[in-house]
Amino acid sequence: MIRRGSHPAAVTDRPGGWHGNAGGALTRFLGPGGDSWLLAICLSRVGTYMVYISYAAALPVLQREWGMSATAAGTISASFQVAYALSLTGCSELADHIGARRVFLASTLASFAGAVAFALLAHDYWSCLILYTVLALLLGGSYTTGIILIAENTPAARRGRAMGIFLGGHSLGLALGLVLTGLALPLGGYRLAFATIALGPTAGAALASLALWRTPNRVTPRDQERGALRAVLGNRPAMLTIASYTCHSYELLGMWVWTPAFLAACFMAAGAPLSRAAGRGAYLTSSFHLTGMVASLIAGSLSDRWGRTPVMFSMAGVSALCSFAFGWLVGAPIWIVMGLGLLYAFAALGDSPIYSTAITEVVEPAYRGAALGLRSFVGYGAGAIAPLVFGAIVDSRGGVAAGAHAWGWAFASLGVAGLLAVASVVALHRLPEARPLTRRSPTLSADRPSRHSVGAKDRR
């Protein structure tokens, strides 16, 4: 449990910058924790994370041109998720030692270079596997570090909303990536799609540099008598939050990777040719991510009012039910597929910011990076397995053209993970130590970011 008043003073590295009127105006406009600062951080995430969906959005075309089975296609997604999980874990731990600001900026700038290399050089299964995996390693440092930056600079009473906006930026980036891919595929194939998506990280790197120009880099010293792993593993609320997030990630990431191909299968069942079906599938999947963006904003704000665990329970329960129903709709009218799909996206993505908020509220500031790293490793590790298992189920049931018989059982496998997420949230809600998560305005001592720098030493 968190011990009140036990946090060592944070060491704050205040970056240099412009001086005079220009520097003062920039500081006022992008003051850490302010609305403009949060907007700039989120827009950088929008641009950077457009590449996250580039492979999945073009998957139906890539399978045809590269001769990949569903299982082979799943291995690329699985490799990406494993590398992403490793990157999240390492960068989260690094953030505890050198500060989240530094890691966030370095990762965002490196992702720009990785996205350009992927767009220029990916041309077959093996080149895509290698380059997409490298891109995942570069991309991971801008996720959990962004969560830490928001936790450090945003009061607890507004943190759910702020986290919802931040993760909503992820959904908006995925939606833009899907729209652009849907437009580019019929015009220039996957090469034009990859090149177009690479523009996103360019803008993301510029916005991140601007947003964090005057944001302090905080490092909170750890208790030397206990290790980071022990501090996290011995925290029951943290471990149950991680368990629920792991099941949530399995369901969500499996759905993310295969929904564009599923919608393409729905259009092909209605008589559309492959290239047109793939473009429409990517285009319409973007609406799912836009719905997820809205869900993140709404659910994050609701968790500030009603508590974290009640909203987590509601979202996870609805998402699991949708997983069991969605795949059986191949051949159904598109408006029915889209109706249930939008509800699915709302529920599956809506609780994402709440998991991120909750973990920062049950773990001491000095161990936030370690906790987020462990959460990300097991969560995205599970998410790496999901597309592979999903693809194997589709292949075993006759392939992507087999209709509901294949897709229904594959999506149902995601629903099982959704039910396990619900069970973990129920157990978390019942813990006496997690009581602040069950009601509005958590008051754990870790939720006082404004005091982290009190008495801190400035390193200029």
Per-residue pLDDT reduced to its tens digit, 194-222? 999 998 888 888 888 888 877 888 877 76
If 0-12 CB within 10 Å is exposed, 13-18 middle and 19+ buried, where does residue 5 land? exposed
User: Tell me: the pLDDT tens digits for 109-141?
Assistant: 899 899 999 999 998 999 999 999 999 999 988
3-state secondary structure of 232: helix
CB neighbourhood size of 94 (10 A): 19
Q: What mean pLDDT do residues 396-416 have? A: 88
3-state helix, strand, coil in the chain (%, to 5): 80, 0, 15
Helix axis angle, 125-139 relative to 70-98, nearest 10°?
20
Helix (H, G, I), strand (E, B) or coil at 250: helix
Q: How many beta carbons lie within 10 A of that of residue 61, not counting itself?
A: 22
At 25, the pLDDT band (50, 70, 90 cuts) reads low
Helix (H, G, I), strand (E, B) or coil at 271: coil
**Structure confidence at residue 135 (pLDDT):** 94
| pLDDT bracket for residue 227 (50, 70, 90) | low
pLDDT of residue 204: 87
- pLDDT (tens digit, 9 = 90+) per residue, 358-374? 888 888 877 888 888 88
Torsion angle of the four alpha carbons 334, 77, 57, 104, in this order, in degrees rounded to the nearest 10 = 120
pTM over 0.85? The answer is: no
Band (pLDDT 50/70/90 cuts) for residue 240 is: very high
Reduce the DSSP state of residue 457 to 3 states and report it: coil
Residue 217 pairs in a beta bridge with 13
Q: For the chain, first and last CA: distance in Å?
A: 34
**136 and 88 Cβ atoms separated by less than 8 Å:** no
Q: Mean pLDDT highest for which of 36-40, 81-85, 87-91, 317-321? A: 317-321
Superfamily of 29-213+232-447 according to CATH: MFS general substrate transporter like domains (1.20.1250.20)
Cβ contacts of 78 within 8 Å, gap of 6 or more: 384, 385, 387, 388
In three-state secondary structure terms, 458 is strand
Flag whether pLDDT at 242 surpasses 80.
yes
Q: What is the pLDDT of residue 249?
A: 92
> How far is 357 from 430, CA to CA, in rounded Å?
18
Paired tokens of 346: 């709302």
The per-residue pLDDT for 29 is: 58
Q: In this prediction, what percent of the chain has a pLDDT beyond 70? A: 86
Among 113-122, 200-209, 409-418, 449-458, the range scoring the smallest mean pLDDT is 449-458
Give 69-119 pLDDT, tens digit per residue: 888 888 898 888 788 888 988 888 888 888 888 899 999 889 989 999 999
Residues of the chain above pLDDT 90, percent:
23
What mean pLDDT is reported for the chain? 81
Higher pLDDT, 163 or 450: 163
Asked whether the predicted pLDDT for residue 340 surpasses 80, the reply is: yes
